[in-house]
């Protein structure tokens, strides 16, 4: 996402999820185009947008899922590929 069109004096949009994950846009550049956003901010924004695939509004379940995905470490590689990671926790929802 380009910073100029997504920044106002009131807010700053860092990510956007369209059609339940068909398209996820993230702002990787800083507001002044002088560099890149730090990894933690981009990862937190991505986890927020991924949670919108399961929950549309910002209710309790949404924030619980965002919290799990943000602070749960990424899956570790194994001999057979990658573990399922946080999806195991959401099987009853899917």
Active site residues: 49
**Phi (first) and psi of residue 30, to 5 degrees:** -70, 170
61, 80 contact by CB (below 8 A): no
Q: CA-CA-CA-CA torsion for 54, 57, 63, 68, nearest 10 degrees?
A: 10
DSSP readout, 50-70? HHHHH-SS-SHHHHHHHHHHH
* Coil, strand or helix at 81: strand
């Amino acid at each position: 996402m380009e910073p100029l069109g997504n920044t106002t004096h009131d807010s700053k949009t860092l990510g956007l999820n369209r059609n339940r994950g068909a398209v996820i846009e993230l702002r990787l550049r800083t507001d002044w185009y002088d560099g890149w956003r730090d990894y933690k901010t981009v990862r937190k924004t991505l986890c927020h947008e991924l949670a919108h695939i399961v929950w549309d509004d910002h209710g309790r379940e949404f924030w619980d899922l965002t919290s799990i995905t943000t602070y749960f470490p990424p899956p570790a590689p194994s001999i057979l590929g990658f573990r399922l990671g946080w999806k195991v926790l959401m099987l009853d929802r899917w």
